[in-house]
Structure formats: C-alpha cells, structure tokens
C-alpha cells in the first residue's frame, strides 16, 4: 500500500497536480507491482518562506540516508 506525499511551492494548477498524481501512480504500479487502488498520493503546498523550517530541517536533512533521490540544493 504505497503512500506518497509530495511537498512543493504553491502555484501549480489542479490539472498539474492531478497529472502528477496519475503519472506517479503509473510509475508505482509498474515498478512495485501493486494495483492502482493500493496507491494514495497527497500534494501539500509549502510556502518558500517556510520550506527550510517545515521541510528541509524536519524531513530532508534528517532522512538523508533514506533518500533514493537527493536534492541538488542545500538550505
């Protein structure tokens, strides 16, 4: 039962978010061998001003060893 949570800056349209969720669902079902009905995806908008405190410091930096795709930036 994969669950994916995407955090990004505000500004994407609902159509962009829906397309992203569809493409990620497709990739998960193809690579992990599960049904689309098992996948859930959340997209949360975080302001640029809050990114370091709410995302970098709490989720990215402490979990660096678990990241399969690391960011190409630092905070």
| Structural contact between residues 52 and 4, judged by C-beta atoms closer than 8 angstroms | no
Could you confirm whether 62 is annotated as catalytic?
no
Among residues 2, 10, 62, 71, the one annotated as catalytic is 2
d(CA 29, CA 37): 9
**34, 28 in Cβ contact below 8 A?**
yes
The catalytic residues are 2
């Amino acid at each position: 039962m994969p669950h994916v949570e995407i955090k990004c800056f505000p500004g994407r349209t609902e159509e962009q978010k829906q397309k992203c969720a569809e493409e990620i669902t497709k990739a998960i079902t193809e690579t992990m061998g599960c049904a689309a009905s098992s996948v859930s995806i959340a997209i949360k908008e975080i302001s640029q001003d809050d990114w370091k405190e709410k995302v970098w410091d709490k989720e990215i930096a402490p979990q660096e060893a678990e990241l399969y795709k690391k960011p190409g930036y630092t905070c």
